[in-house]
Structure 1
Amino acid sequence: MLKMKFASFIRITVQSLALIAGVSDACAQTGAFVPVRKSRPAATPRTTINTSTDWTFRMKSESVVNSPIVRLGDVVVPLDPNIPGWPRMSRSAVGLVPVNGKAMRVDRERLTEVILNAEATPRRLHWIGPDTTEVTYVVAAKPPVHSSMPASSSIAASSSIAGSAIQQAHYHGQTSPSGQDVMQQAAAQTINGQITDPTAQRANLDPQFAERLIQWIKLAISRGDASLLQRYDIRIDRHQAAMQKLELARGIQAADFVNGVKPGQCVLRVVSNGLEGNIQTNLIVNLEKNPVAIVPVKSIRSGNRIGRADLTERPIPIDQWDDSYCTDPIELVGMETRSNLRGNEPIPRSQVGKPTLIRRGDLVEVRVVNGSISVTTNAKALGDGAESELVEIETLEPRKRLVARVVDSSVVEIVTRAPQAH
């Protein structure tokens, strides 16, 4: 009996294993999948695109496509390649190019309409580069991987256009000229913001982008010498031809003066991060020394006397300068403040004056001088006064108001005219 139960258990076990093996083989033959619960992927952060978003695009001067359909990515390069939605926008159709080899012209207005009609795009666009681009259709010997040419091929092709108003930047290895040669070459193009070489071209940059470049350059200068922007007023002409090389700049690595810092024209070597690599150019900048004003080291309350240790110097930008500011510490030492002075702020001459020798309510000595005769009495001051200033006084007995001149601390003087013989 025990043997029969054991044999029955063995038979049931074998049948169960055979059934499981048969199901696995059937799944393998039919390609069926056994459902498996997978973990949810991490949420990807989303970037909000609204009317306050700014995007900047660069127009290619020339583009060659291998498909009759011209797409946005064939003729436009975003200044920031990581802008959200660009992979989708780059595939937007712009138009059809003639297959007979004739070039098609596309302008900024047409591209702006294509970008703004796309989904979830900003309403503020900025453009740099040429106003129009030429697109040519060329049949490729092999099927292309992408419908658009790489940005580097487009830039290289644009340099061969004759008579183009925009010169593309090249980043091949060049020998560094001497400082004197750099000064001569740069000065031949721009002097005081005016082009002196008729063959030199003026930069054609977007005004807002050009101002942003100038701010980047000044920031790079301040990293080398933080006080330089305080001591000098630095002016950079955004129309000079050398600015065109910074068209593809995405930041400024360094900015240093080739021949040192001095008032007047100087050559500034600028090294930038570009879309195609590092960019180096030499700019002409004008340096004008800022005037120096005397400022308090710390705040001084009204009525206090000023000492030499309370003062220091500070350059003031030209557009903030006022002729009433004190420029010599000698004219301030020993003076008394007429109002509160803020630390590190210029001191107008109207806020300081001679020390107050007599204050309202003080009992003063009155000297009445008439020729060789001098009479002394007492009176009460009715106002404040410094040396040589006139104050009103009131005598004690009898009570009478007079005007006297301050001559010393608690001393006033009244000078009368001596009698004349007739």
Structure 2
Amino acid sequence: MSLIAERLRAIRPSETKAMTARAAELREQGIDVITLSQGERDFDTPAAVCEAGIRAIRGGRTKYTAVAGIKPLRQAIRESFSCDHGLDYALDQITVGCGAKQVVFNALFASLDPGDEVVIPTPCWVSYPDMVALAGGKPVLVACDELDGFKLRPEALEAAITPQTKWLMLNSPCNPTGAVYSRSELLALAAVLRRHAQIYVLSDDIYEKLTYDADFATMAAVAPDLYGRTLTVNGVSKADAMTGWRVGYGAGPLPLIEAMNLIQGQTSSHTSSISQYAANEALSGGRDHIDEFVRAFLERRDLVISKLNQADGLSCRVPDGAFYVFPSCAGVIGKRTPGGKVIETDADFAMYLLDAFAVAVVPGSGFMASPYIRISYASSLADLTRACDRIIAACAGLS
């Protein structure tokens, strides 16, 4: 009898975490590695949010909280949904978890039975398929062409649906592509979903506040008749530079939220009380810092796009949101490194960039799309300039 559960055989370590760990190892050896592999901005958490966390500690707010989260935070989340999107949720329709990642996992674990299918447009975040599999479901990956902006077409959604389909997962703005679904694009998908009453929508909006050339829209607001079939997930990690605080939240049908709370109550119980008070400040204390973040990201995005499109063999479209670019590296496949190694895959290219030029990126294969690489531009302009110059040199060195 094996100690390790059979269900873990199909689960892979996160490629983003693996590349970041490898970069850290090289850095410990004294190598000047520039890490563009992690979805974490270089900005500090706003001072007012940090002070709210400190006040929570000094005020003795360090005890257990309700599984679903403290009431003031859920009220702030409710007001945010209402003000931003006109969505009305009761407090018991809102749950707070240890990051949006846990909220997504809780939803899948609470709802999937063996054989249930989840439609996932690809390229997608590395964890989606594995979370579905861990919850006992079957991920159904639907490739979205770069010519379509890496976005799911209604006809492709229709073709992927079977009687076993339970969820459609949508991530907009998307990690890794930065694609943003417009209102009209969501309405087209909603028209398909109306023909299949058994399907629920998991709308992962964690990058909502980080859009540049497109307006943000979310399914429950765009298609009010699907409100009761939609779980909307968000959090403070990306918009408020609070990745390490681990606060995400979801709002949706009451039976689902109750089931998610049941799971959370038997696993993590709740997210940190201190983090919850800090997140309450982030949501209710004014978010003027977001405009500054967006301006900085826009400048960085444009720099990276301009640089990468100078690299021989790379082609990079302009993303509308998040803080990633997803350039095609098809033009370097089949070429040889100065050491004679053939670049056969995007993973080979990513390792070449890391080992020979000390730049850490993530191969597109980790996001179910090849041959691409994902580059995070959540770093300083100086580091991005140096990294892109190294990538240009790396491409020039191939033959």
Structure number with larger C-alpha Rg: 1
Identify the TM-score tier after normalising by the shorter chain: under 0.3
TM-score, normalised to structure 2, is 0.22
